[in-house]
Structure 1
Amino acid sequence: MGDEYFLSVCDDVPHDVVVTDPGVRALDVAEVVRRLTGLSLWHSKVLATQTPAVVLHGVPLEEARAAVAALRDAGAEAAVRDQPPPGFLMP
């Protein structure tokens, strides 16, 4: 039996938070990205303006939803995406 990936019913699938458009208030969005990631303000601004950009990777659903709400409050368009299971595109 090889190594296989099984997802239990009670496992929380990790999620990514993606900024799809920083909007007109890019500096406000960069400050939220800074607070969420711990990056410097300069790196946060670069990340927020090079869209689409994954801001958070592999977080629980509740944390992802809270991050998306904070980004939307700052004027950005953001979304929560499910991560594919390991080996999703591998032969």
Structure 2
Amino acid sequence: MVCGDVPHDGVPTEPGARMTNVVQVVRRLTGLSLWRSKVLATQVPAVILVGVTQEGAAAAVSALRHVGARARRPRC
């Protein structure tokens, strides 16, 4: 199976203990308001990025994991 330029999604599955940091990362990644970012971070699993490149989705997952959240890796 070849991935090519298939669009990927970023999906956090658990916010973790440092909720404030996760909300800030979600806000930075999406550009949404603080309130909407908090809603996305608390109502997991939620798709926060839709149709991004594999590298973009992997970077988002890495940023979320760095602050303690659990997130799914993008797949082909």
Pairwise mapping of residues 1-91 of structure 1 onto structure 2 (< 5 A)? Answer: 11-82=4-75
Moved >6 Å (runs of 4+): none
In structure 1, the gaps of 5 or more residues are: 1-8, 84-91
Which of these two proteins has the greater Rg computed from alpha carbons? Answer: 1
Tell me the CA shift for residue 82 of structure 1.
4.5
Tell me the CA shift for residue 17 of structure 1.
0.4
1:24–1:35 distance in 2 versus 1, CA, 3 Å:
same
Identical aligned pairs, as a percentage? 64
1:65–1:10 distance in 2 versus 1, CA, 3 Å:
closer
State the match for 1:88 in structure 2: none
Tell me the matched-pair count: 75
Greater share of residues in helix: 2
TM-score normalised by the chain length of structure 2: 0.90
Contact 2:58 2:74 in 1 (8 A): no
In structure 2, the gaps of 5 or more residues are: none
TM-score normalised by the chain length of structure 1: 0.76
